[in-house]
Amino acid sequence: MKIAILTLPIHNNYGGLLQAYAFQKVLKKEFNLDSETLDIVKSTSWVSKAKGHIKFIIKKYIKRENIKSPFYISNVQKLIISQNTDAFKNTYIKLSEKKYTTKNLHQLKNINFDGYIVGSDQVWRPIYSPNIQTYFLDFLKGDKSSKKISYAASFGVDYNEFKKKELEECSNLLKQFDAVSVREKGAVTLCKEKYCVEATLVLDPTLLLNVEDYKAILDKNLKNKKQIMFYVLDPKYANKDIEDSFQKYFDLPLFKIMPEAATKDSLKNIEDCIYPPVEDWIEGFLSSEFIITDSFHGTIFSILFNKQFITIGNVARGMERFNSILKIFNLEDRLVSDLSGIKEVLKTKIDYNLVNKILEVEKKKSLDFLKNSLKK
């Protein structure tokens, strides 16, 4: 079979890169299937930019929202900032030769893919999707020969964010899928109540690989380091005062991976904005003594690598993702909504004998879903 994968545009997000890598690896390793991730990009036409400026004017001057004007990075600057993450993408992820926007996806019908798999990550969250109908395979209307599957697709939240027309259109499209699976328990309920579709709960594809699969990427002997992996994306918590307090509490140095955010000022020293290699990210999680993160995939890799960790929840970015995955492993107590509850969490240690047993059971369920879906 020839499989096309639709996920969110792959840029500098470490979790996004690794889930795309993992899913292709799983399809080949477990089912001997070749797959291609569609290189979907957002439109950069003057029309789309004009729409962006109009939206900004409405929000800023009519709705009086406190927002900054749109800031665009040049293509040259993008290449410099993304040089390491692009290297990983080009080495480990098979992308389509052609770049697709929502306008030319209908051309895929000429390639004769046997099946399309939508997922993983927040592909069904409108604020992250270049065009939400695309991720319900609207461009395959009338195509009854290709398999249509979702794997670990995520709404990001446990409530409906779709406009009435979007919900109607996407519901009709989802009913044409051969098999539907989602990443969060709340999404199972959403699919049933809002889309009238039965969905299966599965693991994020990064959890379907073994630790050794990730070590193989590094191609070197690892040594445990006396350090804390600090992978925090929210500026509210990623600041010097909080970093200093953690460093003092653990009496260990912090390892931080995130570069400076690209702004007009920071780009004057563009080297500070370059994303470190994905390999450094993996090594940080593998070798550190403790993990502090507010990232979904940061939480995933903490569990997979059997690390003691704390996850700081972020309501704006979606708590359902954290609640669902931590509940599966009986680790809800590792999630805090602010820093006041951290000391209580640190008093207990995770029993990874129990966690790993659950992982094996859930991993089999997820692989069985894929096996059965691909056979239909």
Whether the domain at 2-208+362-375 and the domain at 211-360 fall into the same CATH topology:
yes
Tell me the pTM. Answer: 0.90
191: phi then psi, degrees, rounded to nearest 5: -60, -40
Q: Which secondary-structure segment (H or E) carries 3?
A: strand 2-6
The predicted-structure confidence for 117-163, as pLDDT tens digits, reads as follows 998 899 999 988 888 999 999 999 878 889 999 999 999 999 999 99
Q: What is the pLDDT of residue 249?
A: 83
Q: How far apart are CA 134 and CA 157, in angstroms?
A: 19
Q: What is the pLDDT of residue 168?
A: 96
Query: Given pLDDT bands bounded at 50, 70 and 90, which one contains residue 70?
Result: low
Neighbouring C-beta atoms of residue 294, cutoff 10 Å: 21
* Pair 186, 155: CB distance under 8 Å: yes
pLDDT above 90 as % of the chain: 64
Give the domain ranges of the chain. Answer: 2-208+362-375, 211-360
State the number of CA atoms in the 13 A half-sphere of 319 facing the CB. Answer: 11
The two three-digit tokens of residue 233, written as one number = 């994306």
Residue 41 has pLDDT above 70, yes or no: yes
Q: What is the pLDDT of residue 217?
A: 94
Residue 39 β-bridge partners: 99
**Per-chain mean pLDDT for the chain:** 90
CATH class belonging to 2-208+362-375: alpha beta
Residue 230 has pLDDT above 80, yes or no: yes
DSSP tag of 276: P
Residue 312 β-bridge partners: 336
The two three-digit tokens of residue 88, written as one number = 């990983």
Query: Given pLDDT bands bounded at 50, 70 and 90, which one contains residue 68?
Result: low
β-pairing verdict for 335-336 and 2-6: unpaired
The predicted-structure confidence for 276-320, as pLDDT tens digits, reads as follows 999 999 999 999 999 999 999 999 999 999 999 999 987 767 788
CATH of 211-360, one of 3.90.550, 3.40.50, 2.40.160, 2.60.40: 3.40.50
Residue 344 has pLDDT above 90, yes or no: no
Q: Kindly state the average pLDDT of the residues 167-189.
A: 96
Q: How far apart are CA 7 and CA 94, in angstroms?
A: 13
